[in-house]
A = this chain, B = another copy of it.
Amino acid sequence: MISKERIKQLRALQKKKSRDLKQEFIIEGAKMIEEAIKYAPDNLLQIFGTEPISIALPKHTAFTQIDDRALAQVSALKQPQEQVAVCSYLTPRQAPSDFYLALDTIQDPGNLGTILRLAAWFGVEKVIASRETVDCYNPKVVQASMGAIFNVEVEYLDLQEALAATDLPIYGALIEGENIYQKNISRKGILVMGNEGSGISKSLLPLITDPVTIPQFGKGESLNVAMATAILLSEFSRPRPL
């Protein structure tokens, strides 16, 4: 059973203000919950579901049985999955790294989720994001990340300050950049991806030491930022001839 008050609290977590206040966010579906158990068990606080989860839960994680109606009220999805869970905000790990992805005002939650999933695949442990970038605990970001939110640390900061303070090479995805397939690159540096509509902010451009571009082979007008990130992370990760 779940109280009306608790339903209200959970629904409130769809908004950034309430999330920041409680330092909690929502994940949905067995797959996501399994990822939480695997990578962030301490953060998995409570599960609500019409069905229990088939794998063992951390000792501190309570499971509360709810009906379809309550599930629909609590879920942010049009077609809710069988479980919804509350997680506490993830703790920064501050793992040392020499390759970062930097996001300049990525606004679409689906794009950010996809980019986190790509970062997890390519072993990018930390993403730094401008404060104007969509919140990584936004329900649509969390779902699109397919659990990558538990593997990739996202830090929101003043991107201009952060880029000005580093000695690492700063790669930026720009239309007038060097051909990424021909440029001599190594997986050491910061790769900056810009906003969906306007690209990398003017104020950051002077900080980019290595502008790179994906050459166009056909008539396609553009690549979306998540697709461009996929191709660039692949290029930074793949072995290259000496």
Contact = CB atoms under 8 A, between A and B. Distances in A.
Contact of A220 (B120, B217, B219, B241): B120
**So how many copies of this chain end up in the complex?**
2
Interface in A197-220: 214, 216-220
A234 B121 CA distance: 17
Nearest to A222: B146
Interface of A: 35, 39, 114, 117-125, 146-148, 151, 181-182, 214, 216-224, 226-227, 230-231, 234-235, 237-239, 241
A223 B117 contact: yes
B234 A123 contact: no
B181 A227 contact: no
Given A39-B219, A120-B221, A227-B227, 19 more contacts: A117-B223, A118-B220, A119-B218, A120-B220, A121-B218, A121-B220, A122-B217, A123-B217, A123-B220, A124-B218, A125-B218, A146-B222, A148-B220, A181-B238, A181-B239, A223-B230, A226-B227, A231-B234, A234-B234
